[in-house]
Amino acid sequence: MKRVLISFSGGLDSTYLVYDNLKNGNIVTGVYTTIENNVNKTRVELNQIKKLEKLFLEEFPNNFNLEIGMKINAQSGNDVTMKQISIWIISLLYSRSSTYDEVQIGAVMNDDMISFLDDIKNLWDAFSFVVPKKTPLIFPLMKKSKCEISNLLPQKYKDLVVFCEDPKIINDIPLLFENCNNCHSCKRYKYESDLWGLTYGQIQQNISDSDPAAYPTYPTIKIMGSDVDLEPAENVNIH
């Protein structure tokens, strides 16, 4: 049994990574890093991961813990696809990474980040001087395809997976949403669905807003152009 810290966004890759670790008897902490370049996306992700948390705890009692990591205020509309990796690194370090046996990120074959894994490990090593003990950074899914992990993840988890970058909120409380079907992630999903018959994240259940005070929070980073400022943590508010 290992204690594992995972960067958890509620997407297919990180959801499968959490599930696979739990299935193998590991104790898992999932860290969600709030990147507020799109308010709707943040609200949807937070609510979906809290639904996933409930399912994990039902199937694997006491073995999963959800933490809300750093909060990043990026300018609206900014593409942070690759920039977010450095923020994940810092957020994971703030989550007492030295107390875990492994830190894991879910990067699968053909992922945007897959060509940069050595650079990401170097970045992790460079920042690790701020913690008492450097914990290994692992990419367990790098030789698995999205098709493979989709087939291995039970449907009840896949139904709650998030992938749309610009969801439309159609009801506030309970939170109901629709995928935009136009962003890069939606188009990629359609391609994979047509090619391999993948189905995930398509059931938009009634999602009750959760109490953010139940989750630990970490410092807020504001990204304005090329400047990065570190501010004290604030509670995550979901309306």
Question: In one letter, which amino acid is 17?
Answer: L
| Mean pLDDT on 26-34 | 94
Q: Which residues of 78-101 are buried (b: 16+ CB within 10 A; e: fewer)?
A: eebeeebbebbbbbbbbbebeebe
pLDDT of residue 157: 96
Domain membership of residue 159 (yes or no) is no
Domain membership of residue 169 (yes or no) is no
pLDDT band for position 82 (cuts 50, 70, 90):
low
Strands 3-7 and 102-104: parallel
Count: domains in the chain: 1
| Mean pLDDT on 17-41 | 92
Write the pLDDT tens digit of every residue in 184-224.
888 888 888 777 777 787 543 333 334 444 444 444 444 33
Cβ–Cβ < 8 Å for 13, 146: yes
**∠ CA 163-164-165, rounded to 5°:** 115
Domain membership of residue 204 (yes or no) is no
pLDDT of residue 74: 63
Q: What is the pTM of this model?
A: 0.81
Write the pLDDT tens digit of every residue in 98-126.
899 999 999 999 888 888 999 999 999 99
Cα Rg of the chain (Å, integer): 17
Supply the CATH number for residue 112's domain. Answer: 3.40.50.620
Domain membership of residue 168 (yes or no) is no
Report the 10 Å Cβ neighbour count for 195. 9
- Alpha carbon distance 48, 27 (integer Å): 21
Domain membership of residue 94 (yes or no) is yes
Write the pLDDT tens digit of every residue in 138-192.
999 999 998 899 999 999 999 999 989 889 999 888 889 999 989 888 888 888 8
Domain membership of residue 191 (yes or no) is no
Domain membership of residue 124 (yes or no) is yes
pLDDT of residue 236: 38
Please confirm whether the linkage preceding 136 is cis (ω < 30° from 0).
no
Domain carrying residue 12: 3-152+210-231
Domain membership of residue 112 (yes or no) is yes
